[in-house]
Amino acid sequence: MKQIKTWTLAFTYVGCFLGAGFISGQELWQFFGAFGNWGYVGFALATLLFVVIGVLFIRLTQMTRCSDMDQLLVPWDIKWLRAASGAIGAVFLFFVVVSMSAGVGAMLTQLFGVPTWLGSAVFMLLVFLTALLGVSGMVNAFSALIPLLVLATLGFAIAAWCTFGTEGILRLAYTNSNPLMLNWGIATMTFVAYNILGGIGIMSPVGQYVREKKHIYGGIIIAGLMLLVVAGSILTSLAAYPEAVQAELPMVALASHLNGTMGTIYGIMLLVAMFCNALASLVGLSAYIEQKSALVRTHKKVVLLAISVLAWAGSLLGFAEIIGTVYPVFGYISVVFLVFMVIHFCRARKQEKETAEK
């Protein structure tokens, strides 16, 4: 695969996060909108952390020349700890695929009345077939689709502001009732932690193709700005029409209220986002498992198919339930390994400086 440069890195990094929960508004509302106006502050902080940690991580892959998720997360040669970090990351990537499949099922049911199980099954088949192309297929898909998602989300926000007005945008009511997230600060940290854990699993096999510092800094900063635009567009849209947050897919409900055709268009856009996120997670999970097992490397297609079938089965649990319960739990666990990763970066940076001075 050829070298990854600024814009390609930006689209790939954004693609790690723009999944069903993010684009539908369900995830953003539970972690930020439910905390009133402090939710805006929370996401601004989350964006800053995404940028800082993203730069640290890609630089870490560059300095260590390592693409193994557990070795990047844990700097010490402690086998059980590395195994635990890798297992947690792998399980989380699996749950991301599950939640994307569940989101597709919910969306197709909401828009067209298609049975949830059937919509999820067709979706997972398409993701499986594309995942067979590996990292290059994922990066190419992101470069084509992510710019469209960012622009389309902003366009829908403008339509929502014009239709519902902007008076309620800065009057968000505190509606949080999730015992796993006691305040906006905890919600922000868990949101960042579990998203970064998934992002690390996805970006681990990608980082080795980014060879220049200017592409790292430029790409990750641009990605942060795009995330800020998308999240700001969604949160302010739902603030303008808060009735939509009662739906399992709030932004689809909002777009449908604007116009039936717009609801369908947003549904298609959401489908694209879920496809990108599920594809990224499945490719990242597959790459990690392949690194750990020669048997898996020789039976890649069978393993990918098995994971896809299991993800489809898990998706029948329901979309909102997965986001509200599974994601926060992984967020708390992820904080520990993010601290380890920062320690690893500091050690690698020190070693790089010492080598340069010799």
pLDDT digits (tens, 9 = 90+) for 149-163: 899 889 989 998 998
What's the mean pLDDT in 192-202? 81
Cβ–Cβ contacts within 10 Å for residue 296, how many? 16
What residue spans define the domains of the chain? 6-357
- Asked whether 249 and 103 are in contact (CB, 8 A), the reply is yes
Cα separation, 50 vs 156, whole angstroms: 24
For the domain made up of 6-357, give the CATH fold: Amino acid/polyamine transporter I (1.20.1740)
- Cβ neighbours of residue 212 under 8 Å, at least 6 residues apart? 5
Cα separation, 18 vs 198, whole angstroms: 12
The 3-state secondary structure of 298-350 reads HCHHHHHHHHHHHHHHHHCCCHHHHHHHHHHHHHHHHHHHHHHHHHHHHHHHH
pLDDT at 242 > cutoff 90: no
* pLDDT (tens digit per residue) in 72-123: 888 888 888 888 888 888 888 888 888 888 878 877 887 788 888 898 899 9
Task: Please tell me the predicted confidence (pLDDT) of residue 130.
Answer: 87
- Cβ neighbours of residue 219 under 8 Å, at least 6 residues apart? 4, 5, 6, 7, 8, 9, 10, 13, 210
To the nearest whole number, what is the mean pLDDT of the chain?
A: 84
Task: Please tell me the predicted confidence (pLDDT) of residue 51.
Answer: 95
* pLDDT (tens digit per residue) in 318-348: 655 555 666 677 777 788 888 888 999 999 8
Cα separation, 236 vs 40, whole angstroms: 9
Residue 181 dihedral angles phi and psi, to the nearest 5°: -130, 95
Burial class of 347 by CB neighbour count within 10 A (0 to 12, 13 to 18, 19+):
middle
Residues of the chain with pLDDT > 90, as a percent, come to: 18
Cα separation, 66 vs 115, whole angstroms: 43
Task: Please tell me the predicted confidence (pLDDT) of residue 320.
Answer: 54
79-112 and 300-315 helices cross at what angle (nearest 10)?
60
* pLDDT (tens digit per residue) in 26-42: 888 888 988 888 989 99
Cα separation, 325 vs 33, whole angstroms: 17
Query: Using CA of residue 157, residue 158, residue 162, residue 163, what is the dihedral sign?
Result: negative
What's the mean pLDDT in 272-287? 85
Task: Please tell me the predicted confidence (pLDDT) of residue 234.
Answer: 92
pLDDT-derived band of residue 1, with 50, 70 and 90 as boundaries?
low
322 vs 212, more confident = 212
Task: Please tell me the predicted confidence (pLDDT) of residue 224.
Answer: 94
Cα separation, 18 vs 145, whole angstroms: 11
Cβ–Cβ contacts within 10 Å for residue 174, how many? 14
Cα separation, 289 vs 317, whole angstroms: 25
Closest CA relative to residue 242, chosen from 250, 233, 231: 250
- Cβ neighbours of residue 260 under 8 Å, at least 6 residues apart? none
Closest CA relative to residue 21, chosen from 244, 234, 316, 232: 234
Task: Please tell me the predicted confidence (pLDDT) of residue 286.
Answer: 85
- Asked whether 89 and 70 are in contact (CB, 8 A), the reply is yes
* pLDDT (tens digit per residue) in 134-144: 777 788 888 88
- Cβ neighbours of residue 86 under 8 Å, at least 6 residues apart? 68, 69, 70, 73, 288, 292
